[in-house]
Amino acid sequence: MKKIIFFNNKGGVGKTTLVYHFTYMMAELGHRCLAADLDPQANLSSMFLSDDELERVYQQEAGRETIVSGIKPLDRGIGDIAPVKVHQITNNIGLLAGDLDLSLFEDKLSTNWGKCLDSDEAAFRIISSFSRIIENEAQKFNADFCIIDVGPNFGALNRATLIAADFVVVPMAADLFSLQGLRNLGERLKIWKTEWKDRTSRNKALDISLPSGNIKPLGYVVMQHGIKESRPVQSYLKWANRIPSFFKEYVLNEAPDSSLKVSEDLNCLALLKHYHSLIPMAMEARKPIFLLKPANGAIGAHYQAVQRAYVDFKALAENILSRMNP
């Protein structure tokens, strides 16, 4: 089972929507996928679950069927991780639902990151909790892949999640702040890999499986949100064509190449359109845009856009699969 995290510390780049659609496309290609919502905003969960299911899950005062149930014993200091309910979305998709209360675990994760340096067994159980929950539930679900969504920050929660992943995909917008986010991501990954390697050498909790922390960048996805409507194409290309060099230098630690264009860069996994007119239909139908049918209102030009979206997301999934299995 391979764990793929989609992350950029620049928000507003369409990351959660990308995770949702990627998960569905992987399932379309026959892979069993466990989606893990580790963003306290739980936006991915709200996309996967119906209104009735959301109300049932989140209005429970105690014992909510979310990722938080798995860390409760650790948070209370009364045990190790607990089982978490996997919500069956389709035959090939399961969901570990997110929870606003995840943010309350942040301080404990931050404190215990330092305690790992003292070979504190309890600290290693806490830091590795998300990794072990994902592994356990993915095994029960018989998942081929776990696809992880997190918030846009470098807090302790995301650090514990990133070291648990095998691969990272970076969603990008073509703007200055996304480039800065790319630089920050590369620097932070290097620091966390080094720090976690040091800590694992001090682990005395030999009965638990720790993540390697050796996360591999697979590439980036550029979300071409409204380039015609909001700004000239040349303005878009000005920033988009800086991404390849930034990615090589800051994420891959390779020599930058300012002459490389985004359309030619092998690290660019996809250039995805916005599909403006399909979004309301998809939200109403509670399905990805590429699975919309005429019965959902996708007729004429809309249906042609649905077909193009299917081709685009299939190409993205196949590209990512090939990068994981070179």
Instruction: Print pLDDT tens along the chain (326 aa).
Output: 999 999 988 877 889 999 999 999 999 999 999 999 999 999 999 999 999 999 999 988 778 899 999 999 999 889 999 999 999 999 999 999 999 999 999 999 999 999 999 999 999 999 999 999 999 999 999 999 999 999 999 999 999 999 999 999 999 988 888 899 899 999 999 999 999 999 999 998 889 999 999 999 999 999 875 444 445 577 778 889 999 999 999 999 999 999 999 989 999 999 987 777 788 888 889 999 999 999 888 888 888 889 999 999 999 999 999 999 86
Strand pairing category for 216-224 and 33-38: unpaired
Contact 21, 169 (CB under 8 A): no
Q: Is 80 helix (H, G, I), strand (E, B) or coil?
A: coil
Give pairs for 203-210: CB < 8 Å, separation 24+. 203/116, 203/119, 203/121, 203/124, 204/119, 204/121, 204/124, 205/121, 205/124, 205/125, 208/80, 208/124, 208/125, 208/128, 208/132, 209/128, 209/131, 209/132, 209/135, 210/124, 210/128, 210/131
Secondary structure letter of residue 247 according to DSSP? I
Give the Cβ contact number of residue 7 at 10 Å: 26
Return d(Cα 237, Cα 275) in angstroms, integer.
Answer: 19
Burial of 18 (0-12, 13-18, 19+ CB in 10 A): buried
Contact 265, 199 (CB under 8 A): no
Return d(Cα 133, Cα 193) in angstroms, integer.
Answer: 21
Return d(Cα 195, Cα 247) in angstroms, integer.
Answer: 22
Q: What is the pLDDT of residue 225?
A: 55
Q: What is the pLDDT of residue 14?
A: 84
Q: What is the pLDDT of residue 230?
A: 47
Which candidate, 193, 198, 199, places its Cα nearest to that of 214?
Answer: 193
Secondary structure letter of residue 209 according to DSSP? P
Q: What is the pLDDT of residue 302?
A: 85
Q: What is the pLDDT of residue 298?
A: 86
Q: For 103, phi and psi rounded to 5 degrees? A: -65, -25
Helices 278-285 and 301-324 cross at an angle (nearest 10°) of 80
Q: Which residues, including other chains, have CB under 8 Å from residue 195's CB and lie 6 or more apart? A: 113
Q: For 318, phi and psi rounded to 5 degrees? A: -65, -35
271 CB-side CA count, 13 A:
16
Return d(Cα 199, Cα 193) in angstroms, integer.
Answer: 10
